[in-house]
């Protein structure tokens, strides 16, 4: 793993990557199946790195909030593990799916147990776990407050229009939830679990806020600046392992191959990347590739990782 004394290059590397991405015309396509996301300007690009020694380095539109969508699944997984621990693994698997994020095909063969917590079906089960003993609005409030705590920023809010837009068009997610309910793997009404799910996907954050929120994962479960312990070291490693193997859906292998660090993407075009022991990274470019992952975001992280010699496989 790279030593901290190579850090002065980081500012320059981020600026170079952002300048190169600004020039590119092959930006992918913004998600339109959630109509509200289809309104976002594909020309946006932001990137943030927060090092474990506390430096915050930004380039491009790094302070503009965007819809974090499935990146939020890292935070709901963390909360659900805190709530029920390893019992979670009776209801959700931890294998890459090799299928699109909203696929239904495996659920029948696997008796309503989603392959992993990051595909939609898995995250809907996690919303159901977080609902236990709560009204949906309380569960949503708990998730939002957790994200605000991680980012040390209580200005972070849920974009109600995005949540409503997704609910209005979320027929596939309703299908997934109803199907899992038929196997007994949702304990609440599908409508309620989906209410929680749509709202946490609609959290709006900037690259700066997202990178700060990911710091505990880059530092063995503890925020290195505040000293707040979020999860155990073992749990932080395991969440990182799931991000590496499942964080980009059927593009997870390619992201690991090209970038070499754990990452979690969302259809809003954001990616949270973790360089264990070194830094938490966030990138945003709304245009997506064929797997529904940020096209330029993945390319930017690949370039940055190469420039900085960052890889979990680096000697
Ligand atoms: N809210 C989105 C959906 O359910 C999340 C998908 C994603 O970000 N990959 O379709």
CA proximity to 118, closest of 245, 26, 206, 246: 246
CA proximity to 225, closest of 235, 233, 213: 213
**Predicted local distance difference test score (pLDDT) of residue 249:** 93
Q: Which atom of ligand 1 is nearest to the CA of 69?
A: 8
In DSSP notation, 31-76 reads --SSTTGGGS-TT--EEEEEETTS-EEEEESTTS-EE-GGGHHHHH
111 CB burial (10 A radius; 0-12, 13-18, 19+): exposed
Per-residue model confidence as pLDDT tens for the chain (315 residues): 445 555 569 999 999 999 999 999 999 999 999 999 999 999 999 999 999 999 999 999 999 999 999 999 999 999 999 999 999 999 999 999 998 889 999 999 999 999 999 999 999 999 999 999 999 999 999 999 999 999 999 999 999 999 999 999 999 999 999 999 999 999 999 999 999 999 999 999 999 999 999 999 999 999 999 898 999 999 999 999 999 999 999 999 999 999 999 999 999 999 999 999 999 999 999 999 999 999 999 999 999 999 999 999 988
Q: Which atom of ligand 1 is nearest to the CA of 202?
A: 1
Pocket test for ligand 1, best of 68, 77, 101 (most atoms within 8 A of CB): 101
Active site residue 70: yes
Active site residue 249: yes
**Predicted local distance difference test score (pLDDT) of residue 314:** 87
Give CA–CA dist 90/121, Å, rounded: 14
In DSSP notation, 202-269 reads TEEE-HHHHHHHTHHHHTTTB-TTT--B-S-HHHHHHHHHHHHHHTTGGGHHHHHHHT-S-EEE-TTS
Q: Pick the catalytic residue: 17, 67, 70, 294?
A: 70
**Predicted local distance difference test score (pLDDT) of residue 7:** 52
**Predicted local distance difference test score (pLDDT) of residue 12:** 96
- Ligand 1 centre to CA of 9 (Å) is 35
Q: Pick the catalytic residue: 267, 275, 278, 283?
A: 267
DSSP 3-state of 283:
strand
Beta bridge partners of 60: 46
Q: Which atom of ligand 1 is nearest to the CA of 266?
A: 8
Nearest-CA residue for atom 2 of ligand 1: 69
**Predicted local distance difference test score (pLDDT) of residue 313:** 95
The CA-to-CA distance between both ends of the chain, in Å, stands at 6
Domains in the chain with CATH codes: 4-69+205-308 (3.40.710.10), 70-201 (3.40.710.10)
- Ligand 1 centre to CA of 250 (Å) is 14
2 CB burial (10 A radius; 0-12, 13-18, 19+): middle
Q: Pick the catalytic residue: 17, 129, 181, 197?
A: 197
Q: pTM of the entire structure?
A: 0.96
């Amino acid at each position: 793993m790279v030593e901290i004394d190579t850090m002065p290059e980081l500012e320059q590397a981020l600026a170079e990557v952002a300048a190169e991405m600004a020039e590119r015309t092959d930006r992918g396509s913004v998600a339109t199946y959630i109509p509200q996301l289809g309104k976002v300007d594909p020309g946006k690009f932001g990137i943030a790195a927060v090092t474990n020694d506390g430096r915050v380095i930004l380039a491009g539109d790094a302070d503009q909030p965007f819809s974090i969508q499935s990146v939020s699944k890292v935070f709901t997984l963390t909360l659900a593990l805190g709530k029920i621990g390893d019992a979670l693994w009776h209801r959700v698997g931890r294998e890459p799916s090799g299928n699109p994020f909203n696929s239904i095909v495996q659920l029948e063969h696997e008796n309503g147990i989603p392959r992993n917590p990051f595909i939609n079906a898995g995250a809907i089960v996690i919303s159901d776990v977080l609902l236990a003993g709560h009204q949906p609005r309380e569960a949503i409030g708990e998730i939002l407050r957790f994200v605000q705590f991680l980012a040390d920023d209580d200005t972070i809010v849920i974009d109600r229009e995005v949540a409503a837009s997704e609910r209005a068009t979320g027929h596939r997610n309703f299908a997934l939830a109803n199907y899992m309910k038929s196997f007994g793997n949702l304990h609440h009404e599908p409508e309620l679990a989906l209410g929680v799910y749509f709202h946490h996907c609609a959290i709006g954050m900037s690259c700066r806020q997202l990178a700060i929120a990911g710091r505990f994962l880059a530092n063995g479960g503890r925020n290195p600046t505040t000293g707040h312990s979020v999860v155990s070291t073992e749990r932080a490693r395991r969440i990182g392992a799931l991000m590496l193997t499942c964080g980009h859906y059927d593009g997870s292998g390619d992201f690991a191959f090209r970038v070499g660090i754990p990452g979690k993407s969302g259809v809003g075009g954001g990616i949270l990347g973790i360089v264990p022991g070194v830094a938490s990274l966030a990138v945003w470019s709304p245009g997506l590739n064929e797997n529904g992952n940020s096209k330029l975001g993945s390319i930017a992280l690949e370039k940055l990782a190469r420039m900085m010699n960052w890889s979990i496989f680096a000697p």
